[in-house]
């Protein structure tokens, strides 16, 4: 870790943005690569903004050992420059300059994984870089900001035996041999790019290759690089990559315009993956997949992430962000594109349900707590802490709303104009909205509110049916609660997709008095409150609101069990069918939590609908599996004003047990029927059947220990990891007596497989029992666990803190103390990961008073720790307020 980062960073504000006074017009880099010390020579052609002749020449750089510096070809003395904590200032330069530096970095010591670092062991591992957001300054001196774009020439030199493969973005221009067993390769990337998209990789890697001919007639060489042992697990990713090339051509008319596209897989990566131009780098968990070592979910995640990083080529790389406040301009938009890609190629309904579930449990919680921030934040101290669910997922929801508003063609017109106007430049959210608006002769100015305003809007809906007039009045009202630093909130444009059904589940006409406001089945609410009149309705309809989840709002309405039951059986929008079932379960949960005695209309209606759905042949198995999945503890707790985790756990258990008990025969029957229907294969239909079958098994294990035998057989007969892990999870999470032996067997079988072992750690970290804490503690000493590997930390420690509320929130405070100690330990290794872990404390204000006090105390103590990173200090500072 770099000591100069151990300080509070100054606040950076959007309103203080200024275009750069100096720009880099060319960047030439050469590296003498070695894990212990790498020498970096940089030659920058710099030009000053003539309007700002007094601006000094300042370069970003930190923890770089400067060996040589030359200005316009001449050595300069220490009187001409000064080195600061995070930069280098060269005095008295005007107009233009050529600056050459030579410096030394130590990849092996770079445990923070920003800049150039080592993946794997010193003798066998490989070198790779991560520059987003501000990693380039850990490699060399430069103007490290996204609005400075330059062409790059990169020469890599290294020992041929130790580093046979040398990769960088752009085209491979030349290569050769050097003395003493070394070799070199030169890459040229002529298309100007910001420094955060720079990448290099060096080591013993192997590749699978393929090619894609674009619609524009360019033959692109495709290569996926990994360790030799896992090479055949890259085939799925290669298929996904070609599918992504094709999809972007068919959907957006966007082709790839370089000759090569490389992807490299590493087990050592802080985030999911990175879209460096021509050289994507992936966390192995989002790249490697075969049925024996990856679950069905992993297969879909590979599809989604390969798509995501590829789509960044247009939304992120060719059109990039002016500054980091605009992060959602590339991330929200690219997540939306990724969602649509997966929806087109796999299951639309499943993807939507998963996205909305995670939005509710994670993004809504973020938006309701002290870490709430707008999709376009207006200030930050540590930008790495803003790669959040709000920027990514709420950002994607905004783009989705715009796409809904403009319609398929209108949105495509807008995107075409966006690319036409801004290809090759660094732009803002305003530019994006202007392009979408101009292409459709609309003023989308009010949509900026969604980017500027933090907090989840509450949408209240009330309806009144007038039998005499055969009409329904629907009143929609919106408000957003104050968030830290934003007390005043404006109404936002909210598209509400809706449908009416009669009591038998038939669709009824949708005729609105205010025809202007209804486009297709979408009503646009623009003000704080509005009433809409729908006519031609013979009876009081069942209203289905926010179909497809047309806006990221919290819907508040008077639910009735009968209406929801009708939607849960007849809604033709798969998402809202699921939403109706989920709403029944949540209503039942609320009654259980409140300890209400007597009739349980929602519980009964819910069970009844699910029984009917299980018997239905037409329903999509993946949707059914999701309907049978009770929201997790965090999702159920999220809407509560004050959270008592033990009470939430108890009510959820009662809910799930009631369902499983009531449907036991049907679940057994479905389980058996799905087995005989054979669930082999990795195509979406087979995946969906497996999903449903594993879901039935899970519910059966909840209801009766007898069924553990079934799970044990499921485990033994499993022919793929999805089934094996599904069975293992059932057995371990229901504390079956077979659990310890099976866990050992699993670990013995997959000992050498880091991605599968991550799942083994995660299963144990999420055990719904207070005793899981002692187990997790013990597991930190397991030979396969590593504090310096982000995936291991995610599986075990974030698994516990973020996905196991009954353990994290143990009343004796041990969950908090354990996590706080882990944060301190991790902070010395990888501050970004430590900061992620620290966000687990972000929900403290809504906990019941005893836990609230302990959480606050732990955060305060942590904050006084010596040498705390800026990353963790920022999270704690904002959390405590
Ligand atoms: N741009 C990457 C993506 O595709 C994420 C990189 C995040 N890196 C970081 N250090 N915060 O989403
Ligand atoms: Zn991204």
Q: What is the pLDDT of residues 775-831, one digit of tens each?
A: 999 999 999 999 999 999 999 999 999 999 999 999 999 999 999 999 999 999 999
Instruction: Verify whether ligand 1 is closer than 6 Å to residue 338 (CB atom).
Output: no
Q: First and final CA of the chain: distance in angstroms?
A: 27
Read off the pTM.
0.98
What does 579-622 look like in DSSP terms, one character per residue?
HHHHHHHHHHHHHHHTT--S--HHHHHHHHHHHHHHH-SSS-HH
Are the CB atoms for 560 and 537 separated by under 8 Å? no
Whether the pLDDT of residue 123 is over 80: the answer is yes
* Ligand 1 centroid distance, CA of 274 (Å): 6
350-to-110, 692, 851 alpha-carbon distances in Å: 39, 12, 36
213 burial via Cβ count (<10 Å: 0-12, 13-18, 19+): exposed
Q: Compute the average pLDDT of residues 720-734.
A: 97
Ligand 2 midpoint to CA 312 (Å): 7
Confidence at residue 122, expressed as pLDDT on a 0 to 100 scale: 97
Instruction: Report how far Cα 399 is from the mean position of its chain's Cα atoms.
Output: 16
* pLDDT tens, residue by residue, 371-400: 999 999 999 999 999 999 999 999 999 999
Q: What ligand is nearest to the CA atom of residue 197?
A: 1
Q: Tell me if 48 CB under 6 Å of ligand 1.
A: no
Which pairing describes strands 126-130 and 200-203: parallel, antiparallel, or unpaired? antiparallel
Whether ipTM tops 0.95, in short, is yes
- pLDDT at position 3, please? 42
Nearest residue (by CA) to ligand 1, atom 8, is 132
Q: How many CB atoms lie within 10 A of CB 217?
A: 7
Q: Is 197 in the pocket of ligand 1 (CB under 6 A)?
A: no
132 lines ligand 1 (CB under 6 A): yes
Two tokens, residue 765:
């970290």
* Structure token pair of residue 104: 């030394």
- Residue with token string 């508040």: 556
- Please tell me if the CB atom of residue 133 comes closer than 6 angstroms to any atom of ligand 1: yes
Residues 6+ apart with CB under 8 A from 60: 86, 87, 134, 136, 137, 141, 142, 143, 144, 145
CB of 215 closer than 8 Å to CB of 255? yes
Average confidence (pLDDT) over 57-70: 97
Q: What is the mean pLDDT of residues 548-565?
A: 97
> Nearest 10 degrees: CA dihedral of 761, 762, 763, 768?
120
DSSP per residue, 233-297: GGHHHHHHHHHHHHHHHHHH-----SSEEEEEEES--SSSEE--TTEEEEEGGGT---TTTS-HH
Cβ–ligand 1 distance for 116 under 6 Å, the answer no
For 239, counting Cβ atoms within 10 Å of its Cβ (0-12 exposed, 13-18 middle, 19+ buried), the class is middle
Is pLDDT of 875 > 50?
Answer: yes
Ligand nearest to C-alpha 270: 1
Ligand 1 contact, 141 CB (< 6 A): no
pLDDT at 5 over 60: no
What separation in Å is there between the alpha carbon of 273 and the centre of ligand 2? 8
State both tokens at 602. 């929602």
> Residue 383 CA: which ligand 1 atom is closest?
11
Each residue of 267-296: pLDDT tens digit? 999 999 999 999 999 999 999 999 999 999
The pLDDT of 440-460, averaged and rounded, is: 98
Find out whether 243 and 305 touch, Cβ atoms under 8 Å: no
459, 494 in Cβ contact below 8 A? yes
Pocket probe mutation, ligand 1, options 135, 271, 308, 321, max atoms within 8 Å of Cβ? 271
> Looking at residue 584, what is its pLDDT?
98
Q: Which atom of ligand 1 is nearest to the CA of 316?
A: 1
From 555, 325, 590, select the one nearest 460 (Cα to Cα): 555
- CA–chain centroid gap for 634, Å, is 17
Q: 274 in ligand 1 pocket by Cβ < 6 Å?
A: yes
What pLDDT does 1 receive? 45
pLDDT in tens, 650-680: 999 999 999 999 999 999 999 999 987 665 7
H helix runs in 425-486, sequence order: 429-438, 448-452
How far apart are alpha carbons 92 and 83 in whole angstroms?
A: 15
Task: Report how far ligand 1's centroid is from the alpha carbon of 267 (Å).
Answer: 16
Token pair 């995107």 in the structure block, residue: 415
* CB within 8 Å of 837: residues ≥ 6 apart: 793, 797, 798, 801, 819, 822, 823, 826
Res 97 pLDDT > 60: yes
Residue nearest to atom 3 of ligand 1 (CA): 274
Cβ-contact 693, 679 below 8 angstroms: yes
Residue identified by tokens 């909305």 is 356
Return the structure tokens found at 288.
């490697």
Are 136 and 154 a contacting pair, CB within 8 Å? no
How many Å lie between the centroid of ligand 1 and the Cα of residue 273? 7
DSSP 750-791: HTT-HHHHHHHHHHHHT-SSTTHHHHHHHHTTSTT--TT-HH
Distance from C-alpha of 141 to C-alpha of 99, rounded to nearest angstrom: 10
With pLDDT > 70 as the criterion, what percentage of the chain qualifies? 99
534, β-bridge pairs: 472, 512
Looking at residue 232, the DSSP 8-state letter turns out to be G
Q: Which two tokens stand for residue 198?
A: 């720079």
309 is catalytic: yes
Tell me which of 132, 227, 309, 638 is the catalytic residue: 309
CA 130, CA 273: separation in Å to the nearest integer?
10
For range 527-555, the mean pLDDT: 97
For residue 270, the ligand 1 atom closest to its alpha carbon is 10
**Is residue 382 lining ligand 1, measured as CB closer than 6 Å?**
no
DSSP 80: S
Residue nearest to atom 4 of ligand 1 (CA): 274
Q: Which atom of ligand 1 is nearest to the CA of 387?
A: 11
Q: How many CB atoms lie within 10 A of CB 644?
A: 18
Instruction: Count CB-CB contacts under 10 A for residue 203.
Output: 25
- Binned at pLDDT 50, 70 and 90, residue 137 comes out as very high
**142 CA to middle of ligand 2, Å?**
23
d(CA 523, CA 514): 10
Average pLDDT, the chain: 97
Phi, psi for 561 (deg, rounded to 5): -60, -40
**Is pLDDT of 195 > 80?**
yes
With a 6 Å cutoff on the Cβ, whether 273 touches ligand 1 is yes
Identify the weakest region by mean pLDDT among 368-372, 397-401, 593-597. Answer: 593-597
Which residue stretches of 392-536 are H helix? 395-422, 429-438, 448-452
Q: How far apart are CA 68 and CA 54, in angstroms?
A: 26
pLDDT greater than 50 at residue 474: yes
**CA 832: distance to chain centroid?**
15
Secondary structure E strands in 52-204: 57-60, 65-71, 74-75, 81-84, 87-90, 96-105, 115-119, 126-130, 150-159, 165-168, 171-177, 182-193, 200-203
Structure confidence at residue 679 (pLDDT): 59
pLDDT tens track for 148-168: 999 999 999 999 999 999 999
**Residue 690: helix, strand or coil by DSSP?**
helix
Under a CB-based contact definition with an 8 Å cutoff, are residues 333 and 395 in contact? Answer: yes
Amino acid 183: pLDDT: 98
**Residue percentage of the chain with pLDDT more than 90:** 96
Beta strands in 317-414 (DSSP E): 320-321, 379-380
Q: In this structure, what token pair is assigned to residue 159?
A: 């020992």
Omega of the bond leading into 73 within 30 degrees of 0 (cis)? no
Of the pLDDT bands very low, low, confident and very high (cuts 50, 70, 90), residue 4 is: very low
Half-sphere exposure of 406 (CA within 13 A, CB side): 26
Backbone angles phi, psi at 59, to 5 degrees: -115, 145
Residue with CA at minimum distance from ligand 1 atom 2: 274
The 10 Å CB-count burial string (b at 16+, else e) for 792-801 is: bbbbbbbbbb
Among the bound ligands, name the one nearest to the CA of residue 133.
1
Q: For position 6, what pLDDT does the model report? A: 62
Residue 7 has pLDDT above 80, yes or no: no
pLDDT at 596: 83
């Amino acid at each position: 870790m770099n000591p100069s980062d151990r300080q509070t960073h100054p606040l950076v504000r959007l309103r203080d943005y200024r275009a750069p006074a100096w720009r880099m017009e060319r960047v030439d880099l050469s590296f003498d690569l070695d894990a212990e010390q790498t020498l970096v020579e940089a030659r920058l052609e710099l030009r000053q903004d003539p309007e700002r002749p007094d601006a000094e020449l300042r370069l970003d750089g930190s923890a770089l050992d400067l060996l040589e510096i030359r200005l316009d070809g001449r050595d300069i003395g220490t009187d001409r420059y000064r080195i600061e904590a995070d930069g280098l200032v060269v005095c008295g330069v005007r107009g233009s300059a050529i600056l050459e530096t030579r410096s030394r970095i130590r990849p092996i010591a770079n445990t923070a994984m920003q800049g150039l670092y080592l993946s794997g062991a010193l003798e066998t591992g490989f070198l790779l870089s991560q520059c987003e957001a501000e990693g380039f300054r850990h490699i060399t001196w430069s103007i490290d900001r996204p609005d400075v774009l330059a062409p790059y020439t990169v020469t890599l030199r290294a020992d041929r035996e130790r580093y046979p493969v040398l990769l960088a973005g752009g085209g491979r221009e030349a290569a050769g041999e050097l003395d003493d067993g070394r070799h070199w390769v030169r890459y040229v990337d002529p298309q100007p790019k910001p420094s955060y998209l720079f990448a290099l990789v060096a080591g013993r890697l192997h590749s699978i290759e393929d090619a894609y001919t674009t619609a524009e007639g360019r033959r692109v060489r495709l290569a996926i690089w990994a360790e030799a042992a896992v090479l055949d697990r890259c085939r799925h990713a290669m298929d996904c990559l070609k599918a992504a090339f094709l999809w972007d051509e068919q959907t957006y008319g966007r082709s790839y315009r370089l000759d090569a596209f490389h992807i490299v897989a590493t087990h050592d990566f802080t985030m999911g993956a990175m879209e460096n131009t021509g050289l994507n780098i992936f966390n192995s968990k989002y790249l490697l997949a075969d049925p024996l070592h990856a679950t069905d979910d992993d297969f879909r995640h590979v599809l989604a992430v390969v798509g995501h990083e590829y789509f960044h080529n247009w939304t992120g790389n060719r059109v990039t962000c002016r500054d980091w406040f605009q992060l959602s301009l590339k991330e929200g938009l690219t997540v939306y594109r990724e969602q649509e890609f997966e929806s087109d190629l796999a299951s639309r309904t499943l993807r939507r349900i998963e996205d909305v579930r995670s939005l509710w449990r994670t993004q809504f919680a973020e938006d309701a707590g002290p870490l709430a921030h707008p999709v376009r934040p207006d200030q930050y101290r540590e930008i790495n802490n803003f790669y959040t669910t709000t920027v990514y997922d709420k950002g994607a929801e905004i783009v989705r709303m715009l796409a809904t508003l403009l319609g398929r063609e209108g949105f495509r017109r807008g995107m075409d104009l966006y690319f036409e106007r801004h290809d090759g430049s660094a732009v803002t959210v305003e530019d994006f909205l202007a392009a979408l608006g101009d292409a459709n002769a609309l003023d989308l100015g009010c949509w900026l509110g969604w980017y500027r305003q933090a907090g989840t809007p509450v949408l209240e809906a009330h309806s009144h049916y007038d039998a005499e007039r055969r009409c329904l009045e629907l009143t929609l009202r919106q408000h957003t609660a104050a968030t830290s630093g934003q007390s005043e909130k404006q109404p936002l444009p909210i598209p509400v997709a809706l449908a009416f059904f009669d009591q038998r589940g038939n669709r009824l006409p949708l005729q609105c008095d205010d025809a202007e406001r209804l486009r297709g089945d979408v009503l646009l609410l623009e003000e704080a409150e509005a009433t809409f009149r729908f006519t031609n309705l013979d009876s009081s309809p069942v209203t289905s609101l926010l179909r497809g989840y047309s806006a990221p709002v919290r819907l508040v309405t008077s639910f009735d069990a009968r209406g929801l039951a009708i939607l849960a059986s007849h809604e033709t929008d798969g998402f809202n069918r699921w939403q109706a079932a989920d709403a029944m379960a949540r209503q039942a949960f609320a009654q259980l939590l409140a300890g209400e005695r007597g009739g349980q209309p929602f519980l009964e209606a819910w069970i009844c609908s699910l029984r009917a759905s299980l018997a239905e042949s037409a329903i999509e198995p993946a949707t059914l599996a999701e309907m049978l999945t009770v929201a997790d503890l965090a999702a159920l707790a999220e809407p509560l004003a004050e959270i008592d985790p033990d009470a939430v756990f108890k009510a959820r258990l009662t809910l799930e047990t009631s369902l499983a008990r009531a449907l036991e025969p049907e679940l057994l029957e479905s389980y058996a029927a799905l087995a005989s229907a054979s669930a082999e294969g990795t195509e979406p239909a087979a995946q969906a059947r497996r999903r449903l079958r594993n879901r039935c098994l899970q519910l059966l294990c909840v209801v009766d220990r007898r069924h553990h035998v079934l799970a044990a057989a499921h485990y033994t007969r499993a022919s793929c990891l999805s089934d094996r892990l599904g069975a293992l999870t059932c057995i371990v999470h229901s504390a079956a007596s077979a659990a310890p032996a099976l866990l050992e067997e699993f670990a013995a079988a997959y000992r050498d497989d880091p991605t599968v072992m991550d799942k083994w750690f995660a299963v144990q970290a999420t055990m719904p029992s207070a005793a899981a804490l002692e187990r997790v503690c013990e597991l930190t000493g397991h030979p396969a666990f590593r504090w310096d590997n982000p995936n291991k930390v995610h599986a075990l420690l974030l698994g516990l803190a973020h996905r196991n509320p009954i353990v994290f929130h143990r009343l004796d405070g041990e969950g908090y103390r354990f996590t706080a100690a882990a944060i301190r330990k991790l902070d010395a290794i990888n501050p970004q990961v430590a900061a992620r872990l620290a966000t687990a404390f972000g929900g403290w204000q809504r906990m019941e008073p005893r836990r609230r006090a302990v959480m606050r105390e732990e955060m305060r103590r942590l904050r006084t720790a010596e040498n705390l990173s800026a990353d963790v200090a920022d999270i704690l500072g904002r959390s405590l307020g």
